[in-house]
Structure 1
Amino acid sequence: MIIKKFQGKTEAQAVESAKKELGSNVVIMNVRNVKNKGILSFLKPQVVEVTVALEDEPVNIIPPKKPEQRPQPPAKDIPVKAPEAPKEDGQERENAQAGKEADPQAENKKLEEKINTLHSLLEQQLQKPEEAKDESEEQEETEVDRFMKLLYYTMLENEVNEQYANQIVDEIKKINKPNMPFNYALANTYQKMILKFGKPMEIEPAEKGPKVIFFVGPTGVGKTTTIAKIASKFSVEGDKKVALLTADTYRIAAAEQLRTYANIMEVPFRVIYSTEEIEQALRDFRDYDFIMVDTAGHSPQNEAQKETMVGFIHSVDGLAEKDVFLVLSATTKYKDLLSIADSYSAMTEYNLIFTKLDETSTLGSLLNVRLHTGAPLSYVTYGQNVPEDIEVFNPQKTVKQLLGGKKK
């Protein structure tokens, strides 16, 4: 009996190779999926291995006319021969089996074409989990299973909170179907994360009269510079009438910094000490488009400062439209971000602005705070240049970075 193994992209292809070499009388003994090796194995096409058998033809009593056609006994160590794989995907597998190094540029190009967002960072995340699994577990995993694990570890690497990372993975698994293509799972993940961020909330003029915009947040996050960037965008580039106020009477340097920006932009500037002065500013600047108010950072434990802040924020209720923006640094620790966000949530509703994106390599805090507070994201800043280093929050760009894509 002759026993040989054949490989192909599908079972039918492998069987066809067997019949072509051994004839149509082959008997299929076993069919199994062959696991691919390496970190990028989930991107390679699946290989099916078919084991077939062929009975020896009986030897005639009368010698046959053509002895050379007499069946030969099988060799003891018949080599297992795999058919040549297609050049595009199979060449990389052949090189790996021969111990040759794959071309890094070609491999990266294929990776980017398939998923558009994952790069070499993702490859490193699943290396240890793969090594820890035994062979039987690896064979049972599907391409989508490997992708979901890769996604999970990548989100953790980008400091997405474990709770939210598990939530996203579980939601994607629920909508995935058996044997779902890898690209389909990726598209679902990408869309799901964009929906979680939601549409950014930009500043819009009031329907009537000036809109009052309060900027709140802890000290040291770049609040004053952020106000200058936004004011410049509207006054210089948007040709809107803007007035700047500061209620931060604790830090003289902050007030003087904002005054300097106001002088450069040639817009009015005032220091206010009471809610009555905000009401007076509303009357004085009633023909303006925006009145932007800088506020002092406060300690969550300082009740007096909190009461003063609440008084300022609600002083314009019923008198003018208002927006409140909580300014946070992307470099702040996760627990501190939650504490700050909860403290301001007790005072008022707000939108989110994240600063200092240029000073961190991870953006998980943006998703964490967004999901924790439910507050919309509005703007992000990434440098000290006024007004250049600010833009409207882009959920698509951020999701790509959270999935391991390179910053642009």
Structure 2
Amino acid sequence: MIIKKFVGKTEEDATEQAREELGAGIVVMNVRPVRKVGFWSFFQKPKTEVTVALEEEPDLADKIVRPKKSTITPEQSDSKPSETVDPSKKLIKASQSGVLPPLKVGGSSTSSKIADINAVVAENATASSVVLERPGVTVTPSSSVIEEKLDSLHSLLEKNIVRPQKENEASNASDDKGDNVVVHAKDDTIPEETLSFIKLLYNTMIENEVDEHYVNDLTDEVERFAKPGVPLEYFLSNVYQKMILKFGNPEEIKPSENGVKAEIFIGPTGVGKTTTIAKLASKLTVVEHKKVALITVDTYRIAAAEQLRTYASILEIPFRVIYSVDDIKKAADDFSDMDYIMVDTAGHSIHNEEQRSEVGSYVKALKEKMDTDTFLVMSASTKYRDLLEIVDNYKEDFDYKLIFTKMDETNAVGNLYNLRLHTGAPMSYITNGQNVPDDIAVFDAQRVVKNLLGGKKK
């Protein structure tokens, strides 16, 4: 692979330089503003540096078929493709030619990731980030497994657990001074080592933004079983298992036994519903070879509809814009031979009851026609208080599963645990970037719990 940087007055200028030198097969890896060094640089406009990559495969450009510009209309939406072309190659070309929004990631190119899709399909692999697998729920891990998974927390235990009598007295004094940790009054039957573990567990969970109420439930569990001679690995294992069981098994998209199934995506504005739909539609179409139709009821944002239309054109699947309940009923009838109908809805303020009611009417119409799943899509970086208001608001009208986006934009994932317990809604998917179809995976409770307990993030 060739990786090279180009500087121009604008991003388009730098990208054009790259195309002239390396050809049309380049993939944009990164874009950033740059300034010259020196005093006079403050009086000059910054330029743009574009990092591009090119697969060293001479015939790549000839092998990829450029997608035709979308001409799909509501009346033509159920037309069949005129030729069979691998959709994954179309996704590569679309990202290279600028038909889709630039897929800017560090470390690997879109083409290499799409190649992974084909490898997964051919080899039927089960451990790829592209194949969305259902992670098993381990409920009886041994002490050695827990130590391995939570190595960072175990190291903290070794450093922070207080053994000397002198520190024991200091700990007693801190209880009266109102320490930053809320722990129940010391019981003489609980070893000092265990009390120190409880304190560390509390601090670690609070730092990861787990609600204090849920943290206290976990520490109470430790205190209940605390006895002299019980190893700390037992308590750590107990907490680990309890949190995984609280998360439960994720519920991913599964086909209906009664024909077509509607997958409906709701949520506030700007959380990535449209991109999430594109990722899942690509996976279902390219990897699982399912028949998928895309429809949008979001008539408030033209860009959202056009983005979804572009993906539909590349994947050669039907697309339709819905303007009324009658339209969505007709679409349900027209696409009855599909495996899935994926529905993008308009994001709106949680206080806009009119728009929420409008989305509800579309969902109700589909429920009357077929089996449905509803997914509430939220950003993991949203404040906890706002998330609570969002889930409570939508709970009034919808029975949903949870999808969290933008996992790459936050280091504290306690809100996933909080909202799972607050709503009782099953976890489904998480996303961690803009790449289609790569940056999405079935929720993995073990990995999230490991992070919440202070384990190393891998």
Q: Give the structure-1-normalised TM-score.
A: 0.68
Q: Structure 2 regions of 5+ residues with no counterpart?
A: 1-143, 173-187
Letter matched to residue 149 of structure 2? N
Structure 1 match to 2:296: 246
Structure 2 match to 1:80: none
State the SS of the aligned residue for 2:264.
strand
Structure 1 match to 2:169: 136
State the SS of the aligned residue for 2:367.
coil
Matched, 1:285 2:335: yes
Distance 1:270 1:406, change over 3 A: same
Q: Indicate conservation of the 8 Å contact 2:161/2:193, yes or no.
A: no
Please report how far the alpha carbon of residue 137 of structure 1 lies from its aligned counterpart in structure 2 after TM superposition: 5.5
> Among residues 414, 420, 432, which one is paired with 1:382 in the alignment?
432
Greater Rg, structure 1 or structure 2?
1
State the SS of the aligned residue for 2:199.
helix
Matched, 1:354 2:387: no
Please list the CA deviations of residues 248-290 of structure 1 after superposition, one character each: whole Å capped at 9, or x if unmatched.
1111111111111111111111110111111111111111000
Q: 1:258 & 1:117 partners in 2: Cα distance?
A: 41
Q: Indicate conservation of the 8 Å contact 1:126/1:150, yes or no.
A: no
Letter matched to residue 205 of structure 2? M
Greater alpha carbon shift after TM alignment, 333-342 vs 258-267: 258-267
CA RMSD of aligned residues (A): 2.5
> Among residues 287, 291, 299, which one is paired with 2:349 in the alignment?
299
Matched, 1:332 2:382: yes
Q: 2:275 & 2:158 partners in 1: Cα distance?
A: 37
Matched, 1:223 2:256: no
Q: 2:259 & 2:342 partners in 1: Cα distance?
A: 14
> Among residues 248, 261, 266, which one is paired with 2:316 in the alignment?
266
Please report how far the alpha carbon of residue 227 of structure 1 lies from its aligned counterpart in structure 2 after TM superposition: 0.4
Q: Structure 1 regions of 5+ residues with no counterpart?
A: 1-110
> Among residues 217, 229, 236, which one is paired with 1:186 in the alignment?
236
Q: 2:193 & 2:454 partners in 1: Cα distance?
A: 18
Q: Give the structure-2-normalised TM-score.
A: 0.61
Distance 1:394 1:120, change over 3 A: closer
Q: Indicate conservation of the 8 Å contact 1:327/1:355, yes or no.
A: yes
> Among residues 245, 249, 262, which one is paired with 1:212 in the alignment?
262
1:26-45 mapped onto 2 (5 Å cutoff) = none
Q: 2:159 & 2:397 partners in 1: Cα distance?
A: 43
Structure 1 match to 2:360: 310
Distance 1:320 1:284, change over 3 A: same
Structure 1 match to 2:181: none
Q: 1:284 & 1:238 partners in 2: Cα distance?
A: 22
Letter matched to residue 152 of structure 2? H
Structure 2 match to 1:155: 205
Q: Indicate conservation of the 8 Å contact 1:122/1:154, yes or no.
A: no
Q: 2:151 & 2:242 partners in 1: Cα distance?
A: 16
Higher relative contact order by CA 8 Å / sep ≥ 6: 1 or 2? 2
Please report how far the alpha carbon of residue 348 of structure 1 lies from its aligned counterpart in structure 2 after TM superposition: 1.1
Distance 1:143 1:112, change over 3 A: farther
Q: Indicate conservation of the 8 Å contact 1:350/1:375, yes or no.
A: yes
Matched, 1:123 2:173: no
Letter matched to residue 293 of structure 2? A
Q: 1:128 & 1:142 partners in 2: Cα distance?
A: 8
Please report how far the alpha carbon of residue 120 of structure 1 lies from its aligned counterpart in structure 2 after TM superposition: 6.8
Q: 2:238 & 2:393 partners in 1: Cα distance?
A: 35
Q: 2:320 & 2:430 partners in 1: Cα distance?
A: 26
Q: 2:160 & 2:236 partners in 1: Cα distance?
A: 20
Greater alpha carbon shift after TM alignment, 114-123 vs 385-394: 114-123
Letter matched to residue 419 of structure 2? V
Distance 1:204 1:120, change over 3 A: closer
Distance 1:129 1:351, change over 3 A: farther
Please list the CA deviations of residues 156-196 of structure 1 after superposition, one character each: whole Å capped at 9, or x if unmatched.
11111111111121123223444311111111010000011
Structure 2 match to 1:98: none
Q: Indicate conservation of the 8 Å contact 2:162/2:168, yes or no.
A: no
State the SS of the aligned residue for 1:184.
helix
Structure 1 match to 2:112: none
Q: 1:265 & 1:360 partners in 2: Cα distance?
A: 31
Q: Indicate conservation of the 8 Å contact 1:352/1:376, yes or no.
A: yes
Matched, 1:402 2:435: no
Please report how far the alpha carbon of residue 121 of structure 1 lies from its aligned counterpart in structure 2 after TM superposition: 10
Please list the CA deviations of residues 353-382 of structure 1 after superposition, one character each: whole Å capped at 9, or x if unmatched.
001111111110100111111100000001
Percent identity reads 55
Q: Indicate conservation of the 8 Å contact 2:146/2:237, yes or no.
A: no
Distance 1:357 1:247, change over 3 A: same
> Among residues 160, 173, 178, which one is paired with 2:223 in the alignment?
173
Distance 1:154 1:281, change over 3 A: same
Please list the CA deviations of residues 282-332 of structure 1 after superposition, one character each: whole Å capped at 9, or x if unmatched.
111111000000000121221211210110111122320000000010000
Please list the CA deviations of residues 195-239 of structure 1 after superposition, one character each: whole Å capped at 9, or x if unmatched.
111110011001011100110001111111000001111011100
Q: 2:316 & 2:301 partners in 1: Cα distance?
A: 23
Q: 1:123 & 1:336 partners in 2: Cα distance?
A: 32
Q: Indicate conservation of the 8 Å contact 1:112/1:118, yes or no.
A: no
Q: Indicate conservation of the 8 Å contact 1:125/1:153, yes or no.
A: no
State the SS of the aligned residue for 1:203.
coil
Q: 1:304 & 1:129 partners in 2: Cα distance?
A: 58
Q: 1:327 & 1:262 partners in 2: Cα distance?
A: 21
